[in-house]
Amino acid sequence: MAEPHQSRVYSDLARFYDFFFGRVFVDREHEVIESLNLRPGNRVLEVGVGTGIALDAYPPYAHIVAIDPSASMLKHAAEKVKENNMGHVELKIGDALNLDFPDNSFDFVTSFHVLTVVPDPYRMISEMVRVCKPGGRIAMTTHFQSANPIVALANTLVNPITKLLGWSTRLRKQDVLKGHPITLERNGKVSPFSVHTVIIARKNS
């Protein structure tokens, strides 16, 4: 296996995902979604929903479309939707790099810990921006390569291992955020010692 998106974690090992990864990510994803202050009738797209650990943070008065290319991950998300009566959530097979939605069709586009998984993260952000309405918001959590040269070297050294597990540690923030018609509203570590960053951006009107 060569690339993160081909990791078995998102196919054969989906049933273990929540135990090993979900509980590390869930609180921050909920905090980010709650900070968006969704309004009744808002349409939200979540890209790379996986097993659906964030789904119960969306209010029932919004309509959520959530996509992922992995049928195994979506099966677990579907169980959560059913168990929690989340009739406002629609799950679909889909690819972040070719979003099957018209331009300007969602009020919010979210994605948590997917940017380092896809083979073309710049295109993923372009697609998220394309389907977001002007004035709408894009929210992501992700890991970026450190700006500190020593930590960046460590990122490079562990990358062959993390790629096998399902993510890259070499994504550079400046490479993926520049050139989109967006204005950053939040751009910082989830907490002082965390390796993860929260990005919230508004699509320019």
Tokens of 139: 């929210």
Among residues 47, 51, 61, 63, which one has the least CA distance to residue 23? 51
Among 55, 114, 129, 176, interactor with ligand SAM by CB under 6 A: 114
The SS3 assignment for 102 reads: coil
Site string for ligand SAM, 158-197 (x = CB under 6 A): --------x-------------------------------
Residue among 2 and 150 whose Cβ is closer to ligand SAM: 2
Shortest reach from residue 191's CB to ligand SAM, in Å:
17
Residue 140 is encoded by which pair of tokens?
């992501």
Binding string to ligand SAM for residues 131 to 150, with x set by CB under 6 A, is what?
--------------------
Under 8 Å between Cβ of 42 and 108? yes
Q: How many helices (H) and strands (E) does the chain have?
A: 6, 7
Nearer to ligand SAM, 111 or 148 (CB): 111
Min dist CB 167 to ligand SAM, Å, is: 6
CB of 83 or CB of 150, closer to ligand SAM: 83
The binder of ligand SAM chosen from 33, 36, 45, 47 (CB under 6 A):
47
Pair 98, 168: CB distance under 8 Å: no
Indicate if the alpha-carbon torsion angle 61, 87, 56, 190 is positive or negative: negative
49 makes contact with ligand SAM (CB under 6 A)? yes
Q: Which two structure tokens, joined as six digits, stand for 130?
A: 């394309």
Pure H helices in 36-137: 71-83, 121-131
Distance of closest approach, residue 57 Cβ to ligand SAM, in angstroms: 11
Look at strands 89-93 and 63-68 and give their pairing.
parallel
Does position 101 interact with ligand SAM (CB under 6 A)? The reply is no
Q: Which is nearer to ligand SAM, 38 or 124 (CB)?
A: 124
Structure tokens that stand for 115 in this block: 């940017």
Instruction: Pick out residues in 52-71 that bind ligand SAM (CB under 6 A).
Output: 53, 68-70
Give CA–CA dist 12/92, Å, rounded.
19
Residues of this chain that interact with ligand SAM (CB under 6 A) are: 5, 10, 22, 25, 29, 47-50, 53, 68-70, 73, 95-97, 112-114, 117-118, 166
